[in-house]
Structure 1
Amino acid sequence: MRVVLLTLLSMLAFAANSLLCRLALKSELIDPTSFAAIRLASGAAMLVVVVRVRRVSPVAHGTWAAAFWLFAYAAAFSWAYARLPAGVGALLLFGAVQATMIGAGLWRGERLALAQWFGLLLAMGGLVVLLLPGWSAPPPGSAMLMLAAGVGWGAYSLHGRGARDAGAATAGNFLRSVPFALLLVAASASQWSITPSGLALALCSGAITSGLGYIVWYTVLPHLRASAAATVQLSVPLLAALGGTLLLGEDWTQRLGWAALAITGGIAMVVAMPQRVPSVKAAAPARTFRK
């Protein structure tokens, strides 16, 4: 029960990131660049405090490459949500993240079963349906930014796969991402627009739903099978869409519903089955000779 509750809490935190960002930018309480920078800085501060309690140095963990992809994700995420509804944005983000990671696996030589290929095509079809021009289609520029954010998060996740201490690596990466964010803030000084409410939402997104959310997730992750950990994340875009409808007054359209079903269902078919590896011809057993 503890694992179930912590898993649910972490998924709610991840979905809340979309809701907090969309609320802040929809109401023009803060500009996108400042939101991203404050989110990264406050997330870094919270994570550093947590890992220092464990007497671990965050500077000794993480990499600059991973930090750059984390920054790219956060910046594109914020700019995309200036115009995207919360549910649509979360669905685009999730689809792009999974497509990036599955594509990287195929590039490394992993093989998919026939049902997994069908699931992948179904998910890609769902993304196409969501992006097709029409009455309820998302703004193309914002949609492309969110897809780019998904690629950034997927690349960041791939960089962190080999980390021995995921929490410390996350803290180190957040800490290293702050200089990138400060450079972007300095370059866009003329567009600064921060209200107390916008600042509070950005701090909440960084310190609580990002910083503490990742800590909770990495606490429960060792208790989940890889397929279960991947599958449970299917709930994030659906939770974000539901939250956007109930809390932000956004519409749940038929296009969003069918796209959500195709994307989450298709990716579930891919991650629920074990990966196939390239077949290697077995070597002939060595002969033994008696003297």
Structure 2
Amino acid sequence: MKPAATLSLFGLTALALTAFAANSVLTRMALAEPIIDASSFTLIRLLSGSIVLMLILAFRLRKQSAPTKGSWLSSLMLFVYALGFSFAYLMLETGTGALILFGMVQITMVVASLIKGQRLARLEWLGIGTAFAGFVYLVWPEVSTPSISGVVLMSIAGIAWGVYTLRGRASQAPLADTAYNFTRTLPFLLLLGLFSIGQFELSTQGIMLAVLSGAIASGLGYTLWYSVLTHLGATQAGVLQLLVPVIAALGGILFVSEPLTLRFIVASLLILGGIYLVIQARTKTASQP
């Protein structure tokens, strides 16, 4: 890959991971109080993402038809992830939830690679272990004794997101696929609304946070993620997502005046070092005849 293309890939990946971190923050802000119920947050999040992406897609294509239209399986995984993620955050602390979510994503993507017959080099295993150790070290102070229901829901959410990510590696039209994946969740959202009717708790601030999460952090962020996945191996895509808590913590340091701690520095170096090892292993494998 040419240097300019590599730089572009790096920038898009950074933006996508930043959107993931923003999504976690917005969800936590909305549901920690809570100022909106989990069902309504999920409904508004996916619906607003669908509307914004379809408007962008219509503007870009105009009289042309979309090259692809997503898939029902990807849409189901997106819905399961969003719903499980929202409800699990009602039962888990932030650190515990992040540990379970990204741990399950990592496991799902590594297992998928092994099932497909892709042997991981020792350097990849070392990189994955190093990055995950740094991730655990970062969130460990916030980890509390978890709720069993919360663990199950967040584990399901992590597996669903891992599958959604893996399916995105074959996407040739990231915007169209993401837009239609969001739109195809509408039947699932209708069922969710019917089951949750009478239990909605809404506020103006909660609705705004759900819209920001859906339209910007999820809709546009997931489109960017699909656009870079075709250039990443499954192992790379999995380990890169361990950067999300680091980016969220960095945002707190830069914008909320949270202290820069030795734990953050050490954890960041471990995660970055692990990612570097995985990428190096992938590069060596690709260069072999």
TM-score past 0.5 threshold: yes
Supply the distance in 2 between the matched residues of 1:7 and 1:116 (Cα, whole angstroms): 20
| Number of corresponding residues | 275
The structure with the larger Rg is 1
Q: Deviations over 1:132-184 (max 9, x none)?
A: 9x994252332432222111011112223222212211111110012112212
1:140 to 147, 151, 166: 147
Q: Which residue does the alignment assign to 1:109?
A: 117
CA contact 1:93–1:149 (8 Å) conserved in 2: yes
Q: Which residue does the alignment assign to 1:46?
A: 52
TM-score by length of 2: 0.76
Supply the distance in 1 between the matched residues of 2:187 and 2:67 (Cα, whole angstroms): 14
Q: Which residue does the alignment assign to 2:23?
A: 17
Offset of residue 58 of structure 1: 5.5
Offset of residue 20 of structure 1: 0.3
Supply the distance in 1 between the matched residues of 2:58 and 2:259 (Cα, whole angstroms): 43
**Aligned letter for 1:187?**
F
Q: Does 1:163 align with 2:171?
A: yes
Q: Does 1:81 align with 2:70?
A: no
Supply the distance in 2 between the matched residues of 1:148 and 1:181 (Cα, whole angstroms): 18
- Percent same amino acid at aligned positions? 43
Q: Which residue does the alignment assign to 1:61?
A: 69
* Match runs of 1:69-218 below 5 Å: 69-121=77-129, 136-141=143-148, 142-217=150-225
> Which structure 1 segments of 5+ residues have no match?
278-291
Q: Deviations over 1:89-109 (max 9, x none)?
A: 344323322221111010111
Choose between structure 1 and 2: higher helix proportion: 2
Offset of residue 188 of structure 1: 2.0
- After alignment, is 3-12 or 93-102 more displaced? 3-12
Supply the distance in 1 between the matched residues of 2:151 and 2:262 (Cα, whole angstroms): 18
Q: Which residue does the alignment assign to 1:288?
A: none
Judged with a 3 Å threshold, the aligned counterparts in structure 2 of structure 1 residues 29 and 92 are, in CA distance, closer, same or farther, namely same
> Which structure 2 segments of 5+ residues have no match?
none
CA contact 1:131–1:140 (8 Å) conserved in 2: no
- SS of 2:281's equivalent in the other structure is coil
Supply the distance in 1 between the matched residues of 2:198 and 2:190 (Cα, whole angstroms): 14
- After alignment, is 230-239 or 8-17 more displaced? 230-239
Judged with a 3 Å threshold, the aligned counterparts in structure 2 of structure 1 residues 58 and 184 are, in CA distance, closer, same or farther, namely farther
Supply the distance in 2 between the matched residues of 1:252 and 1:185 (Cα, whole angstroms): 42
CA contact 1:46–1:211 (8 Å) conserved in 2: yes
TM-score by length of 1: 0.76
